[in-house]
């Protein structure tokens, strides 16, 4: 075994010594690369795969868990700022079970679990405090379940109920939310948090809930500012939608960068209810009819007596007489026709448009910059109504192209640099490829030369042996027959030697070639 190893090492050494400088450099670099790759693969295979043991841990829980893992000798890694502990994947479940037996992590003891330790000696103040803490913990857990929320803290201010007081202090709540990296809470999510907290606490209204984020930014404040924020967001979305429509239209007509649009909208969020009552009759339909007739016939016995009442309330008599008889007749008719009544109620939903105001600036250098046509086009596109109070103004002003030109110059320079880098990379790669091809060609030529030299050396050795054999045969023919037997034996031995030399040339051509080179040098 030792001889075989020594023989192999000797062959490798002789082969390496036969390389040129370029071949030796490539061989050394390739061997080093292979060794480095093997080391990296071995290191990757030997490194254990880690998986999360616990995530979103409090600082106290993380410290206690790390101490316990050090005591148990379990390898671990910390990530996410120390809030996540990683252990080898095959030890995750066993480690969790062992830590649970030690009561870790302890941060899960919140919410209504605080009420489990209530005893007979607990005071009323302790009961109320524990109840408030339990409510805060449960609300915080519920808020943390919202997508994008990492942690949440809830504080409730629940005043004691006054039995003999006519005014009761209201219940208030404050919520602090910390979102995950790269995410923010949408206005709908903030309003959902406000409604959820107010619905979970007795006597708490949405106007008494304050929501802030971890940076101190006010997301929702008491007094309905959250609703106002929602209305502002609706107005902004409406304006952005109109702005995008008009800008895309002008970019198609004038080209990108030749116009600027600003839209301001007045939206009405008032809810109105209109009730209308209308009466109308039907002449062909009568509900009731009544007719009255009065008739008076005959004379009056006192018809001749008559006069004028004087200043002393005395009747002045005169000689003028009246008619002896009198006829009287009166008729009246009443009809009650049917009267129909119609009551209609119209409820107008909030969010109506009270007015749209559009301002457009066009670069006069644009070939299609006609202010009148643009105004008519945008008016028709947005449905501008002058009677409603909508306004539109189109102005032609020269645009400042300094920033665009600088950006274009930087972009052009960057593209040139990228092209130059790509060209040099291509040249470098081509040069390396050419160098490798040249090295391979040189190695192939040298191998061909060596093969040719080995063949020539073999032919030379065989030819020399044949000449020596021929000379010996000629000398043997001239000598005495007594020596024939001896020569025949020697010839057979020479044949054996020649066969051994031929087999040696086939097995170790490089060694034979090196031996012949040494002989030739000595002869010279």
Max avg pLDDT among 112-121, 217-226, 269-278, 311-320:
269-278
Please indicate whether residue 21 or residue 430 has the higher confidence score (pLDDT).
Answer: 430
Is the pLDDT assigned to residue 317 strictly greater than 70? no
Please indicate whether residue 325 or residue 478 has the higher confidence score (pLDDT).
Answer: 478
pLDDT at 319: 45
Query: Tokens 């909208």 identify what position?
Result: 265
The first and second tokens of residue 337, run together, are 């026709």
Max avg pLDDT among 182-186, 259-263, 442-446, 456-460:
259-263
Half-sphere exposure of 311 (CA within 13 A, CB side): 0
pLDDT at 261: 93
Residue 197's CB is within 10 A of a number of other CB atoms, namely 24
At 320, the pLDDT band (50, 70, 90 cuts) reads very low
Please indicate whether residue 256 or residue 324 has the higher confidence score (pLDDT).
Answer: 256
Helices (H), 371-481: 371-382, 402-478
The average confidence (pLDDT) of the chain is 77
- Tell me the DSSP string of 134-197: HHHHHHHHHHHTSTTEEEEEEEEE-PPPPTT-S--PPPEEEEEEEEPTT----HHHHHHHHHHH
Model pTM above 0.85: no
Alpha-carbon span 191 to 186, nearest angstrom: 9
Is the pLDDT assigned to residue 322 strictly greater than 50? no
- Tell me the DSSP string of 464-510: HHHHHHHHHHHHHHHS-THHHHHHHHHHHHHHHHHHHHHHHHHH-HH
Reported as a single tens digit per residue, the pLDDT across 253-286 is 888 888 999 999 988 877 778 888 877 766 666 6
Reported as a single tens digit per residue, the pLDDT across 77-121 is 888 777 788 888 888 888 888 888 777 776 555 565 555 566 666
pLDDT at 7: 72
- Tell me the DSSP string of 191-254: HHHHHHHHHHSTT--GGGEEEEETT--EEE-TTTHHHHHHHHHHHHHHHHHHHHHHHHHHHHHH
pLDDT at 520: 62
Alpha-carbon span 131 to 133, nearest angstrom: 5
Please indicate whether residue 106 or residue 370 has the higher confidence score (pLDDT).
Answer: 370
């Amino acid at each position: 075994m030792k001889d075989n190893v020594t023989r192999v090492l000797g062959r490798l050494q002789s082969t390496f010594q036969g390389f040129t400088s370029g071949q030796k450099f490539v061989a050394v670099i390739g061997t080093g690369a292979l060794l480095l790759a093997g080391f990296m693969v071995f290191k990757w295979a030997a490194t254990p795969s880690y998986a999360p043991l616990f995530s979103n841990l409090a600082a106290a829980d993380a410290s206690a868990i790390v101490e316990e893992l050090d005591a148990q000798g379990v390898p671990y890694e910390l990530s996410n700022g120390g809030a996540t502990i990683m252990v080898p994947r095959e030890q995750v479940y066993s480690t969790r079970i062992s830590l649970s037996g030690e009561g870790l992590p302890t941060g899960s003891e919140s919410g209504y679990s605080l009420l489990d330790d209530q005893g007979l000696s607990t005071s009323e103040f302790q009961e109320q405090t524990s109840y408030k803490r339990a409510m805060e913990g449960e609300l915080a857990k519920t808020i943390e379940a919202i997508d994008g929320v990492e942690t949440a803290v809830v504080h409730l201010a629940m005043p004691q109920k006054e039995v003999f007081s006519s005014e009761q202090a209201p219940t208030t709540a404050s919520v602090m939310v910390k979102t995950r990296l790269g995410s923010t809470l949408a206005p709908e999510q903030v309003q959902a948090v406000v409604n959820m907290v107010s619905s979970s606490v007795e006597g708490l209204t949405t106007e008494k809930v304050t929501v802030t984020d971890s940076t101190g930014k006010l997301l929702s404040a008491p007094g309905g500012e959250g609703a106002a924020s929602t209305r502002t967001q609706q107005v902004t979305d409406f304006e952005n939608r109109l702005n995008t429509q008009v800008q895309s239209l002008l970019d198609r007509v004038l080209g990108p960068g030749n116009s600027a649009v600003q839209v301001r909208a007045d939206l009405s969020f008032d809810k109105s209810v209109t009730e209308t009552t209308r009466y109308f009759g039907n002449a062909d339909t009568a509900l009731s009819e009544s007719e009255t007739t009065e008739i008076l016939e005959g004379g009056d016995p006192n018809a001749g007596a008559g006069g004028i009442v004087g200043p002393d309330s005395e009747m002045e008599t005169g000689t003028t007489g009246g008619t002896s008889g009198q006829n009287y007749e009166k008729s009246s008719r009443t009809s009650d026709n049917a009267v129909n009544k119609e009551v209609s109620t119209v409820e107008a939903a909030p969010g109506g448009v009270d007015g749209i105001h559009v301002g457009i600036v066009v670069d006069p250098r644009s070939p299609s910059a006609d202010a009148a046509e643009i105004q008519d086009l945008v008016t028709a596109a947005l449905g501008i109504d002058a009677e409603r109070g909508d306004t539109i103004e189109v102005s032609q002003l020269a645009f400042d192209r300094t920033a665009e030109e600088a950006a274009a110059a930087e972009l052009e320079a960057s593209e040139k640099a990228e092209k130059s880098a790509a060209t040099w990379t291509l040249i470098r790669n081509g040069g390396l490829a050419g160098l490798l091809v040249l090295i391979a060609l040189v190695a192939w030529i040298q191998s061909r030369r060596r093969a040719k030299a080995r063949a020539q050396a073999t032919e030379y050795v065989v030819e020399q042996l044949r000449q020596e054999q021929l000379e010996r045969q000629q000398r043997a023919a001239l000598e005495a027959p007594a020596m024939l037997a001896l020569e025949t034996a020697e010839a057979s031995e020479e044949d054996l030697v020649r066969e051994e030399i031929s087999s040696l040339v086939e097995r170790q051509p490089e060694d034979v070639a090196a031996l012949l080179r040494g002989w030739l040098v000595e002869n010279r």
